[in-house]
Structure 1
């Protein structure tokens, strides 16, 4: 797409069904290689990152189909744990393959991931977690090799509650010998979804959604069918867009419990939000009110992935709003209207 042409001045109205969460689907697709057989994942959106992950899995030898919102993966033919550099450079989330491939094959070769528009984000916590499980990590320039003929459970404390590191350690630890405990773990809904998926395949994981996750290693996982949770960032984006345009939008297939911080902020702005099960109605007819101070922090606090969207709403709010970005170490910003 070369350009976007936007004709403004009209409030958003109507009904929209929210698709599955990309950030939940990607680690779940990667984790599918832990079981040898046919895995079916429902509610998977057709997005570029999803396509790259499926291409990566095909390169490993898996067979993959994406029909409608359903992905079918036959992981039995997987025969290599060498992830191609060309595909890894397209998407940072390709790093999710480290844990499951190491657990299945005893070795994995990857490259520094790319595809992150917000700049470089290191994977040190991923590597430290795998080392704690007994892996030997060898870095040769841009290439990373992890070897562990035998993974052993361990107590792992994360210096920062990294979502990706938490998920990679979980996926590696499910087939490790003994118990693994992750403290200061990330608490995001996507991690809870990964726990549910792995447990459905036969894993023994407890604690996702809290800062302590416990994994009892098992010898084998079995394929299953699973449905991905709704995308909370897409849901939040539509909610903010409805508020900023003073519109009225009905959102179906949502999980309001995953958006409590945003709902609280929008209501402080004067936005009306009605919740009925998985349906939310968002409406606003007046100029929004400014918010004195908002700070992005790890879940369940306000998510950094909704910061830019909320900035649009605050830019047309009545008064001065201050937002502080702590996740990406950006400076505080202020708008005066």
Structure 2
């Protein structure tokens, strides 16, 4: 496995462009199945999860190309509704294919999805939503078979504002007969992006970004060209890294409106933030201040996907902070790794109690999931001495060459690839 080797202690400085959003691109790629023809997407990053989704689409019969940040998906040759088990296990977002395949073929076979081990993430809300639209669902030996001769619009209430379930229901309902209303819908910017993409293809959807989404089913959707929104979690990661290293960084091609909760927290910690359209300037010349209490919750509250990164900032802050995780019960695995680097953090159920220390020290640590891995990279950038981050494949799921991103800002960070892997690539 690749590892990242970081010589810490350098303040980040410079300008970096934020790439497209993984969590917007994945459902949009799935939704391309709803149109028959060539869909052109721009601002699509090179990530392991994107590669897996394109592999799945290829196995379903589509023709796909990913060149630079442009993706072309030709769905005219799609001929299968069976999502392979080996690819389902690699990525939880493969669940997004349920709605589009059901709408296109009238049935779909999938398996329980994989992904990061950050706690239980049931798909019952996905299945309940599809059932409400008329799908018959059978589960046998880990395989889920959904079938519907016709999808009919319905009122769907979400017991929890699940992002994935909201998006799956939107895609299935886009060509269903009649009107579908989703109440207690998730409100994330990525859902708004999916709505905009579907409407660009000819759908009739309103309300994304609020807790009520209304979908008036249409007969056909048509291929289109579309630009994916910037990745707010990547932007937030860079912002936090700038603050942790007491640097001065400019972000371009970002959307500050998607980062309101993080901006509020960073300002409470004493970080200076300037905003102008799609550009943000982040600087922190002195030790950050503790933030008394942060609670993760669905958008627009503080995102769980930035919890581990902010914890690195708080571990170096002046004072005592509390972080409460309410979304995923398994999202404190990075705490033990940060403790190896000198952080003073204790856990009680879903709360982390963080006493800021003067400095962190380089160590060999392991990325246990995507965002925990990003947090350990940030910690390594700030730490005194050398940090080695192992299991980098987790980080590659959501960051397009994270080492190059930080190299542009002056970080001393290198990717080390095992010799055997280099020989395999050469052959």
Q: Does the alignment pair 1:100 with 2:100?
A: yes
Q: Does the alignment pair 1:25 with 2:44?
A: no
Q: Does the alignment pair 1:73 with 2:92?
A: no
2: distance between equivalents of 1:300 and 1:2?
35
The aligned runs of 1:13-162 (5 Å cut-off) are 13-162=13-162
Equivalent residue, structure 2, for 1:317? 317
1: distance between equivalents of 2:22 and 2:70?
13
Equivalent residue, structure 2, for 1:331? 350
Contact between 2:120 and 2:328, CA under 8 Å: does it hold in 1? no
Cα displacement (A) at 1:3: 2.7
Contact between 2:137 and 2:147, CA under 8 Å: does it hold in 1? yes
2: distance between equivalents of 1:25 and 1:203?
18
2: distance between equivalents of 1:225 and 1:5?
39
2: distance between equivalents of 1:244 and 1:13?
12
2: distance between equivalents of 1:224 and 1:116?
32
Equivalent residue, structure 2, for 1:181? 181
Cα displacement (A) at 1:297: 0.5
| TM norm structure 2 | 0.78
Task: Provide the aligned length of Structure 1 versus Structure 2.
Answer: 337
Cα displacement (A) at 1:120: 3.6
Contact between 2:102 and 2:146, CA under 8 Å: does it hold in 1? yes
2: distance between equivalents of 1:221 and 1:4?
44
Equivalent residue, structure 2, for 1:300? 300
Q: Deviations over 1:225-270 (max 9, x none)?
A: 0000000000000000000110000000000000000001101111
The aligned runs of 1:230-241 (5 Å cut-off) are 230-241=230-241
Equivalent residue, structure 2, for 1:258? 258
Indicate the SS of the match to 1:310: helix
Q: Deviations over 1:263-322 (max 9, x none)?
A: 011011110001111010000101001111110000000000000000000001011001
Equivalent residue, structure 2, for 1:211? 211
Long gaps (5+) in structure 2 = 330-348, 357-427
Indicate the SS of the match to 1:127: helix
Cα displacement (A) at 1:117: 2.9
Cα displacement (A) at 1:143: 0.2
1: distance between equivalents of 2:145 and 2:160?
24
Q: Deviations over 1:87-130 (max 9, x none)?
A: 11111100100000000100000000012231441100000000
Q: Deviations over 1:148-196 (max 9, x none)?
A: 0100000000000000000000000001100000000000000000000
Indicate the SS of the match to 1:4: strand
Contact between 2:119 and 2:328, CA under 8 Å: does it hold in 1? no
Cα displacement (A) at 1:134: 0.2
Indicate the SS of the match to 2:280: strand
2: distance between equivalents of 1:106 and 1:244?
51
Equivalent residue, structure 2, for 1:289? 289
Indicate the SS of the match to 1:209: coil
Long gaps (5+) in structure 1 = none
Equivalent residue, structure 2, for 1:171? 171
Equivalent residue, structure 1, for 2:275? 275
> What CA RMSD, in Å, does the superposition of the two structures yield over aligned residues?
0.8
2: distance between equivalents of 1:122 and 1:239?
32
